[in-house]
Amino acid sequence: MRRPPKAPLSTDRSEGESMAISALTFLAEDAGRIERFLSITGLRPGALREAAAGPGFLRGVLEYLVGNEPLLVEFAAEAGLDPGEIVRALERLEGPRPLREP
């Protein structure tokens, strides 16, 4: 079921984390999606909750989605988002990029 479009996300890190939690929920709603995610990440189903509390996990969820365009588009459509918003949420979780020296 497609949800109505949401307002664009702010640049706040917590918004990126919220997006990643929504993405993890999206993955968990379908056995095939979550099994593939677990297989690629090497996580066991019983360890998912513990791993989710670890640093970088939420960023990894968004990296996984962004790295799989059909899945990214499917999540974006279901969440009523533009795929670019998900990419920007990932950037929020990655933090600022280091400045390049001249």
pLDDT tens for 10-37 read 457 888 889 999 999 999 999 999 999 9
The model's pTM is: 0.78
Give start and end residues of each alpha helix (H) in 1-102. 13-28, 31-41, 48-52, 57-66, 69-79, 83-94
CA 30 – CA 48 distance, rounded (Å):
15
User: pLDDT tens across 44-102, in order?
Assistant: 888 888 888 888 899 999 999 999 999 999 999 999 999 999 999 998 887 655 555 55
